[in-house]
A and B are shown apart, each in its own frame.
Chain A
Amino acid sequence: MKVRSHITQNEDLLFEMSSPGKKGYQLPALDVPEVDPRAALGAANVRKDIDGFPEVSEVEVIRHFTRLSTWNYAIDLGLYPLGSCTMKYNPRVNELVARLDGLAWAHPYQPESLSQGAMKIIVQLEDALAEISGMDAVTIEPAAGAHGELTGILLIRALLEKRGNPRKKILIPDSAHGTNPATAAIAGYEVENIRSNAAGGIDLEVLAKAMSKDVAGLMVTNPNTLGVFEESIVNAAAIVHAKGGLVYMDGANMNALVGIARPGDFGVDVMHINLHKTFSTPHGGGGPGGGPVAVKKILEPFLPAPRIRRGGRNLKFDYKRSKSIGKVRAFYGNFGVMVRALAYILAHGGEGLRNATVDAVLNANYIRKKLEPYFDLPYKAPNMHEVVFSDDRQAKLGVRTGDIAKRLIDYGFHPYTVSFPLIVHGALMIEPTETESLREIDVFVESMISIAREIETDPQLVLSAPHSTRTSKVDEVTAARKPILRWRPPAAVQG
């Protein structure tokens, strides 16, 4: 690969730096006789060489991945204001405790007598999440938010089936995350989108009209994706409940509510919680997450198996649950993520969690106040932990939200969430979280203002951004038109 003038030189792919005989491993000497695989497995079952597989040294491995890591932006480098993603600081003590031998090496099938510590962690996390959400019971089995959504909708379905009719539809506001309608479809429901009102919230009239005996429930995000608390949530829940439906809450925005208000107190029957958002477990470039589901008593019998039975001298797994929706994931979910989330809850304590919420909401309101003179704010209701601007003013000069996002990279920040929620034309969705200092936020605000000025004086500068990154604007169109989804060896040169 060609060299280039840059402080981080080009990096080959592992396959390209491979050379036969290079090794990054050494296995211990076998203390048993070596078996002939062809004899043990049958010759037809034994594979030939893994074509193209890398052979590299340990030094090359560490350099390769370290170099690549420097091409990433990360929370550890600065503000990561992705709306609806809650990119907060990931405390390192959480990483340490998740790696303790007794926890990291616990086998899910080891005897219960040798698993009590792990089971206590699960129970304690369940109890804390129940208290925080105001619900009666929690399952920690779902592996991520969308997986929690599926679990929650299946719980609704199970209860309604028990009552004689699972019903046909789920109502979803047009401001919802895409996972909501996708989840409802996988759970076997039709999706009916309901229009938001002029303030961007639930329109009670529209809801009342849509709510019928065919509707299993309402999926609602609160605060909604505009970052606005649904002030009519209690009435909305009453409308759904009056017709025998249930209320599901997408907990993606729970970082605005912890210690302030509890979904269980405002009419929600079932919700998921994103451990990788509200409870600080790292996003890891896309995962893993954790999507515990909290429910009211009426749904408890249907929770996935197993449950942990308390009360006796030892905790016990209870698999005998005749009404359970079944398992949604093998074993007990993403335990390692639970350990981190509990460590975060223990660090804050009850009062500390509330203080974190206050700072998260304060940060978002401060940004709103500072940027409102420069960017259009289409929905003016008081916001909670995030704020959504529109690019209307800049679009008139030919610059869109996606362009502003790329220019923000030049200022050393990760962009906000672009073009979501869909009910805002050209949305800039900004969520700072509580773990940002005043200085960091001020620099971000100044960057946004500076970009707004550039758009007026030199829009081309913004349109062609980013300028300072190692990788300039990436051609996503060609990637989609002619997909190259894996490396292949270069075609042999004809001799």
Chain B
Amino acid sequence: MRYLPKSPSERRQMIEACGLDSADQLFEHLPPEVRLNRPLNLAPGISEYEIVEYFRGRAAECATGYAAFLGAGVYSHFRPVLVDTVVSRGEFLTSYTPYQAEIAQGTLTTIFEFQTMICQLTGMDVANASMYDGSTAVPEAAMMAVRVTKRSGVAVSRALHPEYRAVLNTYAKNQGMPVVEFGYDGDSGAANLEELERSITADTAAVIVQSPNFFGVVENVKAAAEIAHRHGALLIFVFAEAVSLGLLEPPVDADIVAGELQSFAIPPSFGGPFAGIMATKERFIRQMPGRLVGETKDSRGNRAFCLTLSTREQHIRREKATSNICTNQALIALMATVYLSIYGKEGLRELALQNLSKAHYLAGKVKPRFSGPFFNEFVAECGGRAPEAVNKALLKKRIVGGLPLDRFYPELAGSVLLCATEMTKREHMDALAQEMAPQ
């Protein structure tokens, strides 16, 4: 087999060196009742050519060559070529977690740059080396708020991504963490802050809002933070569309930021792997989960980096750790780091501006459901037709329409969530509008 680098005679030589007659003797100490006495029921191994053919076949059974208006936490942004060039380098791709700092300065330096850029984007003091994704960063942030405030519950905006809320609920229900949801304003589509005010109690550890929220609407983060802080709770700011940070005010009033970096050159890949982030204020570092890289010096006095403050983590503090996270999303975070270095200060703003412009062009041609300010996503009505019927008609034009919202919000049946990015072409927007809101 091509992945097993031994000749039969070398194998024999090793078996003999172990004092054995055959390799099967290596397993003779296993109790007979636990041994598998038949071959695995899997097809015989295939060649590289056949593997490529197999997956080409599966890929052909998925959408290719469609114009799509799907966002909802997964965005189609152009991926600069250099991103894959860098992450395909074996030194990044095939290395382990950088515990041995002297031979992992490459990974450590890029993580330090990553942490810095996340801080710059979010206005926070410190960011970790990544979480699994946005959906799992949210419950990690909630648990962190519980540790910081020594309170037990969280108040969550219903305009937080429904799948993020679902994941939060899974984590919360087993740790006695009550989750109360507060609604959104039926006109603006923004979180209903009056309802937040009523939902928050002396036991609320954190208020969780996403901006732009699931409907694409930009939230009044300052006001939400003011309410949270007045009640002694933290504000957890969540983002799912990272490109929005190129244009939107950073959430400096938040205490913890939890977000999803998929927009930064990470392919949609049917939902993963993505990279989550967590960032916070300096005073909460000790309660933060996940790996951190710090700057230091080597014994010759040169700048060097290493993993640090590890005593928060599971391999040292075990059941008292800030989280059970071990493997994170380092290579995906590297994609984001390369992406941000390519776009840089000006590019990210220009990119965000293109997204804003495209979405507003589209919104001008269909009927937006909400009045709140939006970035590159918004809810639209389908002119009285069923969204499924509209989307079926669009598929014939090789367009994947918006996400029907009845699945997550029964009260929004008849509406879809539409997204436009820098990759969305005007002709496709015109064609979509033609179907959704015939003039």
Contact = CB atoms under 8 A, between A and B. Distances in A.
A437 to B, nearest CB: 4
Given A32-B357, A74-B91, A286 B105 contact: no
Contacts of B44: 349-352
Contacts, number: 681
Contacts of B391: 111
A90 B334 CA distance: 18
Nearest to A276: B327
B69 to A, nearest CB: 10
A97 B33 CA distance: 39
B327 A183 contact: no
Given A91-B3, A177-B326, 11 more contacts: A72-B103, A101-B59, A145-B326, A146-B327, A149-B324, A178-B317, A181-B318, A261-B30, A284-B87, A347-B2, A349-B42
Contact of A46 (B110, B248, B361): B248
B19 interface: yes
Given A350-B43, A471-B105, A473-B299, A361 B327 contact: no
B170 A58 contact: no
A23 B48 CA distance: 39
A384 B373 CA distance: 60
B306 interface: yes
A331 B46 CA distance: 30
A300 to B, nearest CB: 17
14 contacts: A46-B247, A64-B341, A80-B96, A121-B58, A143-B136, A231-B31, A285-B97, A285-B104, A325-B170, A359-B6, A474-B304, A485-B126, A486-B125, A487-B116
B344 A54 contact: yes
A120 interface: yes
Contacts of A214: none
A346 B46 contact: yes
Contact of B327 (A87, A288, A346, A485): A288
A334 B271 CA distance: 7
Interface string A298-326: 00000010000000000000000000011
A115 B11 contact: no
A262 interface: yes
A336 interface: yes
A328 B82 CA distance: 33
B144 interface: no
Nearest to B9: A438
B344 A93 contact: no
A28 B57 CA distance: 32
A214 to B, nearest CB: 16
B206 interface: no
B43 A346 contact: yes
Nearest to B347: A25
A273 interface: no
Question: Which of B103, B163, B297 is the most central at the interface, judged by chain A CB atoms within 10 Å of its CB?
Answer: B103
Given A114-B63, A116-B61, A286 B356 contact: no
Nearest to B166: A327
Interface in B158-211: 161, 163-164, 166-167, 169-171, 173-176
A53 to B, nearest CB: 4
A206 to B, nearest CB: 19
B62 A335 contact: no
What are the nearest 10 A-B pairs in CB distance? Answer: A331-B271, A284-B331, A102-B59, A76-B90, A117-B61, A286-B330, A349-B45, A117-B58, A350-B40, A330-B135
Contacts of A33: 357, 361
Contacts of B103: 71-73, 409, 414, 466, 469
A414 B294 contact: no
Contacts of A453: none
Contacts of A146: 314, 324-327
B161 A101 contact: no
A485 B116 CA distance: 8
Nearest to B400: A110
B345 A49 contact: yes
B72 interface: yes
Contacts of B101: 471, 474, 476
A452 B283 CA distance: 45
B270 A118 contact: yes
B270 A34 contact: no
Interface in B86-105: 86-98, 100-105
A483 B116 contact: no
Contacts of B59: 100-103, 117
Contacts of B345: 18, 49-50, 53-55
Question: Which of A65, A143, A191 is the most central at the interface, judged by chain B CB atoms within 10 Å of its CB?
Answer: A65
Given A62-B85, A286-B330, A478 B296 contact: yes
Interface stretch (B21-29, B148-156, B228-236, B431-439): B21-29
Interface string A20-52: 011111011011111101001110111101111
B123 to A, nearest CB: 9
A99 interface: yes
Given A50-B121, A107-B268, A331-B163, A288 B332 contact: yes
A369 B304 contact: no
Nearest to A28: B422
Contacts of A95: 88, 93
Question: Which of B2, B72, B120, B340 is the most central at the interface, judged by chain A CB atoms within 10 Å of its CB?
Answer: B120
Contact of A97 (B51, B93, B121): B51
Given A105-B76, A327-B170, A349 B46 contact: yes
A208 interface: no
A31 B326 contact: no
Contacts of B338: 61, 65
A205 interface: no
A74 B93 contact: yes
A154 B171 CA distance: 9
A475 B298 contact: yes
B370 interface: no
A51 B46 contact: no
A73 to B, nearest CB: 4
B41 A144 contact: no
B273 interface: yes
B102 A53 contact: no
Interface stretch (A241-249, A337-345, A391-399, A454-462): A337-345
Given A285-B96, A330-B133, A483 B62 contact: no
A61 B341 CA distance: 7
Nearest to B94: A75
